[in-house]
Amino acid sequence: MRNCIRPDARSIPMAVPYAGGILSGQGMLVGAFFGVAAMDAAQNAPVECETRGEFELAKEPALAITAGARLFWDNANRRLTTTATGNFQVGIATAAALAADTTVRTMLARVPASGA
């Protein structure tokens, strides 16, 4: 097909929105797109971001998360949480995370709010 730009759309380039830039493996939110940076990049620089897959990402401190829990991106603190209000849903926990853990395994996925 002549007009197909990215057949699988597994990754897309996005401009880094954060002051101080981003490090490889960190999540970032640009509008309604969430991705995991493939490399370090400065603010406003383009960086290739993975939009599908399973990643270990920073989570809210002292928060225990069960496997299968919906995960939301807290853009102000640049980490995952289970709090939906004011945050953007980005995935599902693929393994439990203890309160003492700093990361949670996450499958990137947008899921309907109803769970249907």
Supply the mean pLDDT for the chain.
91
Instruction: Kindly report the pTM of this predicted structure.
Output: 0.88
**pLDDT at residue 65, as a whole number:** 98
DSSP-derived 3-state class of residue 82: coil
Q: Is the dihedral of CA 37, 41, 8, 73 positive or negative?
A: positive
**pLDDT at residue 7, as a whole number:** 66
Looking at the chain, the whole-number percentage of residues with pLDDT higher than 90 is 80
**pLDDT at residue 32, as a whole number:** 86
Q: Per-residue pLDDT averaged across 21-40, rounded? A: 95
Q: Which residue has the tokens 């700093």?
A: 102
SS3 percent helix, strand, coil of the chain, rounded to 5, is: 0, 40, 60
**pLDDT at residue 3, as a whole number:** 73
Q: Which residue has the tokens 């971001």?
A: 49
